[in-house]
Amino acid sequence: MNVIPIELGERSYDIEIESDSLSRVGVSLASLGDASRVVLITDDNVEPLYGEVVSNSIVDRGLDLDVAVIPAGEESKSIEVAYELWNQLLNLKVDRRSIVVALGGGVVGDLSGFVAATYARGIRYFQVPTTLLAQVDSSVGGKTAIDLPQGKNMVGAFHQPCGVLIDPIVLQSLSVEQYRAGLGEVVKYAASLDADFFEMLENNVDSVVKRDPDILARIVARCCQIKANVVSQDERETSGLRALLNYGHTFGHALETVVGYGKLLHGYAVALGSVLAAKLAFRLASRGDERFKEIDQAWIVRQNNLISALGLPTTLQELPSIVGFEPNIAPENLVALTSTDKKAVAGKLNFVLPVGLGKSELVRDVAVEDVLAVFN
């Protein structure tokens, strides 16, 4: 088993990565101690696949178990579903010794984490991510959230899980779209924070696309290690370091909002957002901004090639064929949406932009005209 510790003082926990480990969820929970009751939250896609093996592993350890199944999809990251879950926990007399287990992708993890963060002012939760996106990103680091109609992840809390158990084998069952979406976050880590990792991906595109188990285990572990390093230094995104994990996300959130939540998978939006971030850096470089001098046409092509090779879009023009309708991608509309991103401060446009391969910076107060130009 590969164990990656997240060092956060009394909020420390381990990420355990091992193939065929779903049947060990109960063992991991029991080892946390002092657990009276477990509530497993999952969705109606995941429950038929993995609900039984995980449930059995929990019951086998002598823990009381209840299961709550939510509809699959981004629409469940809503205040209505959170409200249902809070009431269910209350009816089950869930208390501060209970543990919520999130079995599923980013939606299940973010929502369950938020419910656990706020029920009785905070109870423990344990992440069992079943999508690539959740395994490499959203299950680690304690960001929990639900969406508002006009703002993704706008309501949430920092609340670290008490543990994360990752079984890379489950990635074999993902749809090709869900798998590619996860790769969008994988490229994000590589392009913005880890040049060696970027080259490893370039050199193994075929194995990645074929979901070679060994490559997948390496990718998941590498991403978790990068995230662990960042989160342990900047848990609450105050120093600027953790903000770098949002490479591609400010543009990406604007695209998700304009298309409608759930209609464009997050990882696709991040991939496109990464392309747009590079275009913006290139534009600033071409105007003489020394910070971006390494971001030339070759850099852009190199990132585009990797993104394309993994089956992800690199132009806004691909959006209609992906989502099945014509979204309003007028530049003015997209710019307006970028300014409501959580990284926005006093209405200023802030972006994480590349400054080299595997290097990025949080750039404050970008001019609207430059952002508009990127969307054109």
For the segment 102-131, give every residue that binds a copy of itself (CB under 8 A): 117-122
* Residue from 341, 339, 335, 347 nearest 371 by CA: 335
Among the listed residues 253, 283, 342, 343, the single catalytic one is: 253
Strand 143-148 versus strand 13-17 pairing type: unpaired
Closest distance between a copy of itself and the C-beta of residue 10, in Å?
9
CB 5 within 8 Å of CB 12: yes
Q: Residue 88, interface with a copy of itself (CB under 8 A)?
A: no
Compose the 32-71 pattern: x for residues touching a copy of itself by CB under 8 A, - for all others.
----xx----------------------------------
The DSSP code for 348 is B
CB 307 within 8 Å of CB 268: no
143 is catalytic: yes
Query: What letters, b where the CB count within 10 A reaches 16 and e where it falls short, cover 184-205?
Result: bbbbbbbbbbbeebbebbeebe
Among the listed residues 61, 77, 143, 283, the single catalytic one is: 143
Among the listed residues 77, 249, 342, 343, the single catalytic one is: 249
The DSSP code for 35 is -
Nearer to a copy of itself, 20 or 95 (CB): 95
Q: How far apart, in whole angstroms, are the C-alpha atoms of residue 154 and residue 220?
A: 27
For the segment 196-255, give every residue that binds a copy of itself (CB under 8 A): 236
Q: How far apart, in whole angstroms, are the C-alpha atoms of residue 59 and residue 140?
A: 25
Q: How far apart, in whole angstroms, are the C-alpha atoms of residue 148 and residue 159?
A: 19
Compose the 128-167 pattern: x for residues touching a copy of itself by CB under 8 A, - for all others.
---------------xxx--xxxx-xxxxxx---------
For the segment 267-296, give every residue that binds a copy of itself (CB under 8 A): none
Among the listed residues 24, 188, 227, 279, the single catalytic one is: 227
97 is catalytic: no
266 is catalytic: yes
Residues that bind a copy of itself (CB under 8 A): 36-37, 79, 83, 86-87, 90-91, 93, 95-97, 117-122, 143-145, 148-151, 153-158, 236, 339-340, 342, 344-347
